[in-house]
Amino acid sequence: MADHQVLIAENVGFGVEVLSLNRPDKRNALSSTLRQALVDRLDALSVDEDVKAVVITGAGDHFCAGFDLDELMSSDAPDAVLAHADRYHAAVHEFPKPLIAAIEGVAVAGGMDLAVMCDLRVGTTQVRMGQPQVKFGVPAAYDLLCTVMRMSAARDLCLTGRIIESDEVVSHGLLDRVVPPGEALTVAVQLAREIAGVAGAEPMKRVFVDHQPALFGS
């Protein structure tokens, strides 16, 4: 196991690596340091022939609360912080191997985006999702959401900024596997190992990347 402070990387065998966002006291908010750690690790894994699938999860009770608002508000150059995010989004959105999100608790704003950028999502009956940042004028990744939700449901979240609870999360098809609380990572790893053993999985992922929409309408 390699501990990069804000990101913990663990090879769990059978061609699978688990990346844990490790800021539980901040509900795993995506600071620039954490985003860069994800970029660096995903770049390395993209050329690691021994790793066939990757699971992303959050330490503690939550998956991810989005970008670190404290960092954004305290920065002398918030535009530069957001510009740095482009590299992070590209690293996740264009990662050439299957990505699976293991979701407990909250996955909102950029945390929901991170989950949706993954190919599959395993989540519990207590998952909450939404795009609350739109209430403060920060845009939502509407085109991205439409890859996993009905257009009208995606518009609802992008226009209202409301948080949806587990039943609605499931009804919108945002989870591919629904499990009891505390079991998301276990089931996600099992799924990743299954996918890692499928010879055609990585070529299919390249097809997904070639046909997916650009982020934020870019």
In angstroms, the CA 91 to CA 47 distance is 13
Give the residue-averaged pLDDT of 7-29.
98
**Every domain of the chain and the residues it spans:** 2-217
The whole-number pLDDT of residue 2 equals 45
What does CATH list as the number for 2-217? 3.90.226.10
Note if the pTM is more than 0.75.
yes
Q: Report the pLDDT value the prediction gives residue 216, as an integer from 0 to 100.
A: 61
Nearest to 54 by CA among 90, 3, 17: 17
CB half-sphere exposure, 111, CA atoms < 13 A: 32
- Residue (of 115, 75, 89, 100) closest to 35 by Cα position: 89
Q: Within a 10 A sphere around the Cβ of 13, how many other Cβ atoms?
A: 10
Q: What is the pLDDT of residues 121-170, one digit of tens each?
A: 999 999 999 999 999 888 899 999 999 999 999 999 999 999 999 899 99
Computed over every residue of the chain, the mean pLDDT equals: 93
